[in-house]
Amino acid sequence: MGRELRLPCDLKFGCTPGDDVAGEDYGSTLRQRMDDIHERVRSNIQGASDRMKETYDINANDGRYQPGNQVWLYNPQRRRGLSPKLQSSWEGPYEVVTRINDVVYRIQKLPRGKPRVVHFNRLAPFAGSNDEQAEARVRHVSPPDGELSFEEFMSLHSNGQKARYGVTREEPRDLFQTPADFCLAHCVAADLRMSRGIALTFKKAFGQLEELRRQRPEVGRVLQITAAEQEKERSVFYLVTKQLSHHKPTYQTVWDTLVELRDVLLSQSISSLAIPKIASGLDGLDWRVIRSMLEVLFRFTGIEILVCCYNPRRSLNEKTVDCFFYQTSRCKNGSFCRYRHRPGDDTIRDEMSLRRGSVTNAGPVRPCLF
């Protein structure tokens, strides 16, 4: 560092007295410059830190919420079938129960939600009135602007074009084994015979035919058996979509009945509904069109509709495709494998014959290639 290179002539004759030798103060100059660079870097880091703090403090709040104050909670959730841009990241209102310390609060969702502990950065003041009954009336009387009429809907979706807004969810499960907070609904005729299909199952499970007849069933109306009447945990809705059991409903009658069902659910503050594939079994309508009706009519209501597609005559655990790796003695999943392991099969080690679907002692092989 800073050492001057000596040439042979310098060693032979020496340096003339008084001449400046280049590089004598190189080391001290280098140290001075490095100190200056370090000082400037420290100054720039401190300035950047101050700017970041000022920017953060502009949007920060002091978090001084008192018990009893109503607040919003930042809780973004992704809902399938709906764009993240259309989903709200805030939910509420919540009520501040206690202030644990300067930055942590215990809040509870109104009216009887479960208390939870959150940081004040996830809270925002709620300036609304929280009149739930008034909100229900507004939702019931004034549907959102731009709602499609039946004619407009059929012009868009009669050819099977899908409408998906995250309202419906199909699952292969038993309709009658759904959680107790889900109400049930299905289609019936005005004569209430219910002699075939899932209507017969509803008739045997819930009965109450006299109560249903007292409600004067007509096409387009929704009949209801409340939980108190049947001494069970949930209500059951009967959608009258045709006059006689041997008749077939139309898309118009199904549309009118679903509109009536939507109004009934909103008036009773019901947010979860479980249904079969209504009007698409014995009634013969296209399920793709019916599902699009549900999506369009219920998209602004916040009601979740679970469509149960369980078929009791079909074993859901049956495996029909042979495991490729089991036949080459390389499957490590054992009994947990998703594909069939045939007991007693001879092990085949020729992978190319499996890929071509060659015949073995057990018959033709249906290879499963991952």
DSSP string, 294-322: HHHHHTTTT-EEEEE---TTS-TT---SB
CB 107 within 8 A of CB 118: yes
Determine the number of helices (DSSP H) and then strands (DSSP E) in the chain: 11, 13
d(CA 270, CA 264): 9
CATH code of 70-130, in short, is 2.30.30.140
Omega cis (within 30) before 111: yes
How much is the pLDDT for 248?
92
Q: How confident is the model at residue 183 (pLDDT cuts 50, 70, 90)?
A: very high
Average pLDDT over residues 361-365: 48
Average pLDDT over residues 293-308: 92
Does position 143 have pLDDT exceeding 50, yes or no?
no
d(CA 182, CA 270): 9
How much is the pLDDT for 229?
61
Omega cis (within 30) before 76: no
Type of residue found at 165:
Y
pTM attached to this predicted model: 0.49
Considering only 190-194, 220-224, 351-355, which range has the smallest mean pLDDT? Answer: 351-355
Does position 17 have pLDDT exceeding 80, yes or no?
no
Q: Which of 132-146, 170-184, 226-240, 351-365 has the highest mean pLDDT?
A: 170-184
CB 230 within 8 A of CB 247: no
Q: How confident is the model at residue 168 (pLDDT cuts 50, 70, 90)?
A: very high
How much is the pLDDT for 142?
42
Query: What tens digit of pLDDT does each residue of 34-56 get?
Result: 999 999 999 999 999 988 888 87
Does position 363 have pLDDT exceeding 80, yes or no?
no
How much is the pLDDT for 147?
74
Question: DSSP for 132-152?
Answer: HHHHHHHHHHSPPTTPPPHHH
How much is the pLDDT for 313?
55
**Architecture, CATH, for domain 139-308:** 3-Layer(aba) Sandwich (3.40)
**Higher-confidence residue: 254 or 85?**
254
How much is the pLDDT for 2?
53
Q: Is 224 helix (H, G, I), strand (E, B) or coil?
A: strand
Sketch the domain layout of the chain as residue ranges: 22-59, 70-130, 139-308, 324-364
In 3D space, the residue among 135, 253, 138 whose CA is nearest the CA of residue 187 turns out to be: 253
- Of 191, 242, 286, 346, which residue is the catalytic one? 242
Active site residue 62: no
- Helix-helix angle 251-267:132-141, to 10 degrees: 160
How much is the pLDDT for 134?
46
Residue 289's contacts (CB-CB under 8 Å, 6 or more residues apart) are 157, 158, 160, 251
- Of 283, 286, 322, 345, which residue is the catalytic one? 283
Active site residue 283: yes
Average pLDDT over residues 75-96: 82
Q: How confident is the model at residue 359 (pLDDT cuts 50, 70, 90)?
A: very low
Query: What tens digit of pLDDT does each residue of 186-202 get?
Result: 999 999 988 888 888 88
Does position 347 have pLDDT exceeding 80, yes or no?
no
Residue 39's contacts (CB-CB under 8 Å, 6 or more residues apart) are none
Q: How confident is the model at residue 136 (pLDDT cuts 50, 70, 90)?
A: very low
Same fold, 70-130 and 139-308: no
How much is the pLDDT for 370?
42
| Mean pLDDT for all residues in the chain | 79
